[in-house]
Amino acid sequence: MTVLRHTNGNIGGINPIQYAFKEDISSFVINPNTLVGTIMFHTGKGWNYLYGSPESIQLEGKEDDLPSGIKYSYAIKMLIPKDRRDVEIILYQLNQRHLILNVIDKNGVSRYFGTLDCPMKKNGKLLKPATIEGYHGWEVVFNGEFSQPSSYAPVTITNPITPPDPIE
Q: Give me the domain span that covers residue 129.
A: 17-150
Number of structural domains in the chain: 1
pLDDT digits (tens, 9 = 90+) for 4-41: 666 766 667 887 789 999 999 999 999 999 999 999 99
Residue 11 lies in a domain: no
Residue 124 lies in a domain: yes
Residue 78 lies in a domain: yes
Mean pLDDT of the chain: 87
Residue 144 lies in a domain: yes
DSSP characters for 22-85?
GGGEEEEEEETTTTEEEEEEPTT---EEE---TT--EEEEEEEEETTEEEEEEEEEEEEES--H
**Which pLDDT does position 116 carry in this prediction?**
96
Residue 96 lies in a domain: yes
- pTM given for the model: 0.85
